[in-house]
Amino acid sequence: MTSTLRRRPAQRRSVERVERMLDECAALLGEVGYDALTTKEVARRAEVPIGTFYQFFQDKRGLVRALALRNLEAFLARVADQIARRAPEHWTDLVDLAIDEFVEMKRSTPGFAVVDFGEVLPTPGGPAVPGTNRMLDAALENNAVVADRLRDLLGAPVGTAADRALLVAVEATDAVLKLAFRVHPDGDPDLIAECKHLVRRYLAEHLTA
């Protein structure tokens, strides 16, 4: 996966500045949306010189890429924490757990409704801004990156067929949950339930073997 920063912050002060800029980016995405987001306003609210902003981010797109990667890492950490706490006995429980954590982040994480794992959604549920389907990695679409990381986290089977099945499951989840958040700002609960059912039934043919 390609780096999202122009340079890595080495000192604690620099790390804190980068985190503040990402926090303000997320807040502004929720307040004004992607189109009205400006690097100048992010720097102002984060209380850093605009020159400092450009030390770490090439432009607004680079900032949003870094936020998307942070969101993905936060999501994976939440899923891992829930696995450790609940000790699910069956892989179907992992499907529900992952979907529940994603939905909760959509509802509560600043800016996540606009930018989750890369795609920029000007309106809830899309359509996405063209060209933002490869924000995390220039060589892979966002959902392919998410599928790879989930496979590693969940210990899913490795191989062409298993990889394809997990990617299809992630793509299907993405599409149905977009619909759920178009129908209702907090995600239509019936569609969320249908999403879980769809993914469990689909993966059953591949994982139970």
Query: Where does residue 118 fall: left (phi above 0), alpha (psi -120 to 50 degrees), or beta otherwise?
Result: left
d(CA 160, CA 94): 21
Which of 10, 14, 15, 7 shows the shortest CA–CA distance to 57?
7
- Tens of pLDDT, residue by residue over 79-116, are 999 999 998 888 889 999 999 999 999 999 999 999 99
- What pLDDT is attached to residue 1? 40
- The tokens 């509560």 sit on which residue? 108
Mean pLDDT (whole number) for 129-150: 94
Fold of 12-207: Tetracycline Repressor; domain 2 (1.10.357)
- Does residue 2 carry a pLDDT above 80? no
- Does residue 130 carry a pLDDT above 60? yes
- Does residue 9 carry a pLDDT above 70? no
- The tokens 């400092």 sit on which residue? 52
Output the 3-class SS for 108-171.
Answer: HCCCCCCECCCCECCCCCCCCCCCCCCCCECCECHHHHHHHHHHHHHCCCCCHHHHHHHHHHHH
d(CA 162, CA 168): 10
Residues of the chain with pLDDT > 90, as a percent, come to: 78
Lowest mean pLDDT among 2-6, 14-18, 129-133, 197-201: 2-6
- Does residue 55 carry a pLDDT above 60? yes
Angle at which helices 142-154 and 60-86 pack, to 10 degrees?
20
**What pTM was computed for the model?**
0.92
Q: Are 13 and 48 in contact (CB under 8 A)?
A: no
